Structure 1
Amino acid sequence: MQSPSRIGRKQPNLAVTDPSASSAAAAAAGMEPELDSTKAAAGNRKHLAMLERLSKRTAASSAGSPEASPVAAFLSRFAAAKAAAETALSACRSSPDGAAASLAAASSAVDDLERLVAEASHSLPPYELRSALAAVSDLRAAHKLAASEIRPKKSFSFRNKSKATKNPPQDPPALPQPPQEQPKPNPDAILPGFGFRSRNGATLVRDLRAANEKDGDFTLADLVSCEVYLKGKCRALYIHKLRDCRVFIGPVFGSVLIEDVERCTFVMAAHQIRIHEARATDFYLRVRSRPIIEDCSGVRFAPHALKYEGIEDDLRDSGLAEDTGNWVNVDDFKWLRAVQSPNWCLVPEEERLPIVDISEVQEKED
């Protein structure tokens, strides 16, 4: 026998005259408000749960988005700084009248780019770091070329003056001599900036505590057979292309980026140190994080061995008063095996430098 509800669905005309169907419909009608409120509450709970899930998903996707990545942030800043340097270099050639000012602006822009790479070097993946370093190197070479193109124009103007003095027909053979003497002096104006560049066999001393560049950035580039002494602290240090040098540096309260060095000795303290293409070189370090090497061979490490009057205050002010012992915890990015990397080792104790006191080393003008 079919229930009244099923009869009502199949035969609507009979359901109206069936008393039992009418009573069942009335009972169902009496429960509708209660059922509707229960369903509404359940629906609200599901809706709120769905909104919460969507909110969490959105927050998670935002946190993992490339815009929030430190690498993406660096690449954005690097692209802007690189564009500024390229614009300044273009101005050197497009406006000869203001070439000197444009050349100085270009040098400053390239220095800013170097500093940006040095500060971010510790957190960048190897590929991004190599690309950034290559871009900086290309811009530095372009700056050198622009400077060399500008400088002969100045010497040519001096040659014109010498032609004016040549008017008296007394000494015609002296004409070739002035142009030969002019190119001989090659000062470091080609690479202006804060640091030492393009020196050979020099003793380079700077007390950063007394200099106008206090707590700034410092650059060492293209040095051969030099001894470098820096007393005081600096924010960042960029080192490029040194051969047979001994370098003693006060605390660096930022990053140190070392690239293309050979047969050198470095004594320094810093928060972060990253080393690329070093060969047969010793590092005496105090460093907050683990030193990183890449494309290196024959490099050795030992504890910090530098002293000068006031170094304790400089170390404390730089957050380097405590020796973490990380000088021995070297990470080789080109050696991913579990065994010890063959590219680095510790300096044997009997070969280590004693504490080097540079308190009496005097500042020199080179």
Structure 2
Amino acid sequence: MYSAAEVSEETGFAGESAAAKIQERLQRRNQARIEDAERRKEAKASQSVAEEKGEYFFSTFNKERASIEELLSSCSGADRAVVTQKLDEAAARTQQLQKFLNDSLLFLTQYNQRQAQAALLKLQTSLAETREEGLPKKKFAFRARTKAKDKVSAPVSDTPAPGGGTPADAGGTEVDGAAAQCGFSNMDNMHLTKTAEEIERQDVLLTHLTNCKVRLMGSPSTVHMKHIDSCEILCGPVSSSVFIDQCRNSTLALPCQQLRTHNTTDTQVYLHVTSRAIIEDCRGVSFAPFSWSYPTLEEDFTVSGLDRDQNNWSQVDDFNWLTTETPSPNWTVIPEEDRKTTWDP
């Protein structure tokens, strides 16, 4: 049996132990509140910094965009030499604006990224339209070929076509004006090539091609592909954007600043892109790093101004898939073992 003194001492120890535990819990709670307050403070400060960066970005971006638009507007009515100079300046500044956007993606929200990309796309379209209006190229009407003109006017390669002759000989009429300018249109089962000298930083148009193999060497300003079916299209470094619409069952290889793809299905894209690729209304699109090579590729990268070391080929924004919790089902990465590495014999 315990004496009264021993019981009193034991009870005192128990009380002190309970008080110590309560004090320890209070201290932990207080420390947790302090840490939570610090986290909130840091998050608020970080958000404030991001907002300040975002405000600076849009202020600078919109000011420069408006200035380029004003430069394009001043091309109206000017003589060809002045228009050429202004368009070259506008193209260079638009390219720098794209780089400014690329460098700012880390702190811009997806919504703000899309706003900026849409504004830049509109500016690039305006640039192309102003170039077409201010520096019109010679149009070609459909007409019967003569053998003497076939060797000069055919905008295709010298790859033999079935039955002999060049691919151009397989048809009976000239291609349309767009193809005669820079690009190819309305062709089936052709091997088609443009050299760096033919491209010369021009806007390239590929449209209504089926079962064709296309090689675009050099550095185009922009590339537009529309109504492409079962084709293999390989392209040198594009200084600004590539726009793809209505493409199916094809293989594409291209470096560019920006890729925007619409209404495309079952297509492989071997990509070098310095911003983020965009797809919309697409399914069955797969991506891998750009792997085509040709003798003057490195020189063309230099001409294009693309950063050889910055490739965001696997960073794809699907405008039909807004959630970030699960990946978009509309695009995939091509497994390494399935990627194409040999393009030409």
TM-score by length of 2: 0.52
| Aligned partner of residue 70 in structure 1, secondary structure | helix
Shift, 1:354, TM fit: 2.7
Query: Does 1:78 pair with 2:69?
Result: yes
Distance 1:185 1:355, change over 3 A: closer
> Distance in 2 between the 1:118 and 1:357 partners?
31
| Aligned partner of residue 331 in structure 1, secondary structure | strand
Residue deviations 1:201-248 (CA, integer Å, cap 9, x gap): 23221221xx2654x2341232411321123x3152321314123211
| Aligned partner of residue 222 in structure 1, secondary structure | strand
1:200 — aligned with what? 187
Query: Does 1:352 pair with 2:343?
Result: no
Whichever residue aligns with residue 256 of structure 1, its letter is S
> Distance in 2 between the 1:227 and 1:119 partners?
32
Larger radius of gyration: 1
> Distance in 1 between the 2:293 and 2:228 partners?
24
CA contact (8 A) 1:117 1:133 kept: yes
| Aligned partner of residue 269 in structure 2, secondary structure | strand
1:304 — aligned with what? 290
> Distance in 1 between the 2:206 and 2:282 partners?
20
What pairs up with 1:82-101 in 2 under 5 angstroms? Answer: 84=75
| Aligned partner of residue 240 in structure 2, secondary structure | strand
Question: Higher relative CO (CA 8 A, sep ≥ 6), structure 1 or 2?
Answer: 1
2:276 — aligned with what? 291
Distance 1:286 1:140, change over 3 A: closer
CA contact (8 A) 1:262 1:278 kept: yes
Residue deviations 1:309-334 (CA, integer Å, cap 9, x gap): 34355456756554x45212223345
Whichever residue aligns with residue 295 of structure 2, its letter is E
CA contact (8 A) 1:273 1:291 kept: yes
2:219 — aligned with what? 234
What pairs up with 1:101-112 in 2 under 5 angstroms? Answer: none
> Distance in 2 between the 1:316 and 1:116 partners?
17
Corresponding residue pairs, total? 240
Runs (5+) with no aligned partner, structure 2: 1-51, 102-114, 143-171
1:35 — aligned with what? none
Whichever residue aligns with residue 269 of structure 1, its letter is P
2:177 — aligned with what? 189
Shift, 1:292, TM fit: 2.2
CA contact (8 A) 2:72 2:127 kept: no
> Distance in 2 between the 1:262 and 1:114 partners?
27
Distance 1:333 1:191, change over 3 A: same
What pairs up with 1:146-185 in 2 under 5 angstroms? Answer: none
2:314 — aligned with what? 328
Relative to its length, the structure with more helix (as a share) is 1
2:48 — aligned with what? none
Shift, 1:301, TM fit: 0.3
> Distance in 2 between the 1:278 and 1:75 partners?
31
- RMSD, aligned α-carbons: 4.8
> Distance in 2 between the 1:309 and 1:134 partners?
31
Residue deviations 1:104-142 (CA, integer Å, cap 9, x gap): x99xx9999999878856746244356557768998999
Residue 128 of structure 1, aligned match among 109, 119, 125: 119
1:276 — aligned with what? 261
TM-score by length of 1: 0.49
> Distance in 1 between the 2:331 and 2:292 partners?
22
